[in-house]
Amino acid sequence: MSPDAPAPGFGPNAGTDSAGLMRRIDTTKAHPARVYDVFLGGTDNFPADREAAAMAPAASPRGHLDVRHNRDFVRRAVTELTTGAGIRQFLDVGAGLPTRQNVHQIVQDVAPESRIVHVDHDPVVLVHAQALLTSSTEGRTDYIEADLRDPAKILLEARRTLDFDSPVALVLAAVLHFIEDDEAYDIVRNLLDALPSGSHLVLSHLGEDMNPVAINKVAETFRKRGFSFVLRSHAGIERFLTENGLEQLEPGIVPAHHWRPDHAADAAEAPEPAPSAEHLAGLDAIERTRYVSIGEATDDDINVYVTVARKG
């Protein structure tokens, strides 16, 4: 690989003015990346994000398992691509806040020479990325501020770190349901067109046809908070693959907990034993989720379709 960036570590955005980014943060409005952080037990969120997250259990009491199984699918998928397919470059769009088991950590633990570019457009994410995203000395990790709706900018800035003459894994995890129909398909096509043969797509997306009553209640709560929220069917998700000539890896498009499960513990689970029933009852709905193992999920709990596919 021969990208322009001359040295390992955090990439060209490392010098971004953190104070300027902080001034742009609107803490009065919930943001998807920060709401996601709430469900994962993170602390990089604000009252508006916690209020939005708290609405979800009322609509779907076990909906938090979607978030955690989505994260666990990403762990398994990027591990498989690193170990099984030999991929050493990852473009993670809509990456969210740096958390435990982030893509660069998973990949570089296996292959330290790997290069990873994370993309998000929330200034809170970029501020924390500057502090928390570190790379192995052999590889490189970068974080760029860009909106998924601007694939041209993403590709331009990613080229500073990634070599687009070698295979890249494009990770679009739980992000496309924030994009309206036709635009979403155009975005995926533009991103994949820039990647060479042997590249892969890691995709997860909320489905409208698994447990429709529960997931539509959740979708409506977030729409009321001002989020675009587009649920897609199995066929609608398959369209992202067929329109781009991608070959699905086994087991194809499946609910998140059925994609090559390894039954490992979720990083968001509380490491200590569950407290007493009295103490547990005193916790709010989100705090209690840390004491629910993802291994307890059933087909009735999961509303996320996932897949990994290869570009020929």
Q: Give residue-wise pLDDT tens across range 10-25.
A: 444 444 455 555 566 6
Strands (E), the chain: 9-10, 89-93, 115-120, 140-145, 169-173, 200-206, 246-248, 254-255, 304-311
The pLDDT tens digits of the residues spanning 160-210 come to 999 999 999 999 999 998 898 889 999 999 999 999 999 999 999 999 998
In angstroms, rounded to a whole number, what is the distance separating the alpha carbons of residues 132 and 226?
29
How high is the pLDDT of residue 295? 83
How high is the pLDDT of residue 61? 61
How far does Cα 220 stand from its chain's mean position?
Answer: 21
In angstroms, rounded to a whole number, what is the distance separating the alpha carbons of residues 111 and 89?
10
3-state secondary structure of 110: helix
Higher-pLDDT residue of 181, 286: 181
How high is the pLDDT of residue 98? 58
In angstroms, rounded to a whole number, what is the distance separating the alpha carbons of residues 253 and 305?
6
CA atoms within 13 A on the CB side of 94: 25
- CA quadruple 259, 265, 267, 268: dihedral positive or negative? positive
Tokens of 199: 């590249």
Q: Count other Cβ atoms within 10 Å, centred on residue 254.
A: 18
In angstroms, rounded to a whole number, what is the distance separating the alpha carbons of residues 213 and 219?
10
Lowest mean pLDDT among 69-83, 167-181, 206-220: 206-220
How high is the pLDDT of residue 287? 74
Tokens of 213: 């009553």
3-state secondary structure of 294: helix
Residue type, 133: L
C-beta of residue 97 within 8 angstroms of C-beta of residue 125: yes
How high is the pLDDT of residue 271? 64
C-beta of residue 172 within 8 angstroms of C-beta of residue 202: yes
Res. 6: pLDDT tops 60: no
Higher-pLDDT residue of 159, 263: 159
How high is the pLDDT of residue 179? 92
Q: What is the mean pLDDT of residues 270-274?
A: 67
C-beta of residue 204 within 8 angstroms of C-beta of residue 235: no
List CB contacts of 85: < 8 A, sequence separation 6 or more: 167, 200, 310
Q: What is the mean pLDDT of residues 40-52?
A: 71
CA atoms within 13 A on the CB side of 149: 9
Res. 88: pLDDT tops 50: yes
In angstroms, rounded to a whole number, what is the distance separating the alpha carbons of residues 270 and 19?
33
Lowest mean pLDDT among 99-113, 141-155, 249-263, 277-291: 277-291
